[in-house]
Amino acid sequence: MQSTTLTDFGKDSHFALIPTGNGRVLYAAPGPMMQWIDTTGTGRVTEAGRRGDDVFASSGNALMYDAGKILKTGGSTQYTGAAASAASYEIDVSRGGAVTTKLTSMIYPRVYHNSVVLPDGRVLIVGGQTFGANFQDSDSVLATEIWDPRTKRFTLAPAVAAPRNYHSIALLLPDGRVLAGGGGLCGNCSTNHPDFQLYEPSYLFDASGNRLARPVISSAPSELALGAPPTSSPTAR
C-alpha cells in the first residue's frame, strides 16, 4: 500500500475498504490516493486515482450508499490531536473506475463519526468531534445530519443525548430504526459511554406524526444469483 510520513498511518489506520464486485476491493481512505485491491489469483494492488482534492482523512467514513456509489465524509490529517474536516465526496465505481465528485460539505466537521444507509436511500451521520482527541468528549457534535442522494445535500436531524466519538457505533436495525451507542472504552475514565439511543427516522411516521404500520413481505424468490436479476419480484403488503 501507499507510504506516508504520518507516524500513525499503518500502525492503526482503519482503512476504508469497499467491495465492488468481481473480486475487487477499493481502498477509498484514509490516504488521498485510492487503490484497487484485486483478490483473484495471488492478488495485486493498482492505483485507482486521487480522491479529488481531499487530503489525508484518518477516522473519516466511507460507505456504499447505492450500487456502485460511495459517500466519503470527514476525517482528520492525524489519528488524534487535529481538527476535523467537513469535506464530502462521492466516489462512483459503477463503470469500473473510481470517479470522484466533490459534494457540498457536511454542516459540521467530524472525525470518529458513524454513517448509516437508511432504507429510503438517505445516509444518517451520527456523532464525532470537530477536533479529534481519543477518549475525550471535548468538541463533540451532538447534532446528527442526513445526506440525501437526490439533492446531494446535508440537513440537520435530532441530536443524540451523549457524545458518540472514538469507539462508538451506529447500526441500522431490522425495523428501520438506528441504534447509536458506545464511545470511549478507556478503562474507568469518565468518557466511557456504555449506553445507546434509538433514532426513529421520519419514514416511520405519517404526516400527523402517527406511527405507520410496518410492511410485511408476503412473497419473495427462494434464491438470488450473483449478477443476475431475480426470477420474480418480492411483494409486500
Q: pTM to 2 decimals?
A: 0.89
Predicted confidence at residue 5, as pLDDT, reads 46
Q: Catalytic one among 79, 112, 166, 199?
A: 166
Active site residue 166: yes
Residue 61 or residue 4, greater confidence: 61
Whether 9 shows a pLDDT value over 60: the answer reads no
Predicted confidence at residue 12, as pLDDT, reads 57
Average pLDDT over residues 152-162: 96
Q: What ranges do the domains of the chain cover?
A: 16-215
**pLDDT tens readout for residues 162-171:** 999 999 999 9
Confidence of residue 3 (pLDDT cuts 50, 70, 90): very low
Whether 4 shows a pLDDT value over 80: the answer reads no
**pLDDT tens readout for residues 35-79:** 999 999 999 999 999 999 999 999 999 999 999 999 999 999 998
Average pLDDT over residues 21-38: 94
Q: How far is it, in rounded angstroms, from Cα 184 to Cα 163? A: 9
Average pLDDT over residues 98-110: 98
Strands 44-50 and 69-73: unpaired
CATH dotted code for 16-215: 2.130.10.80
Residue 189 or residue 181, greater confidence: 181
Q: How far is it, in rounded angstroms, from Cα 202 to Cα 8? A: 40
User: What contacts 55, CB < 8 A, 6 or more positions away?
Assistant: 32, 77, 85
C-alpha cell at 202: 421520519
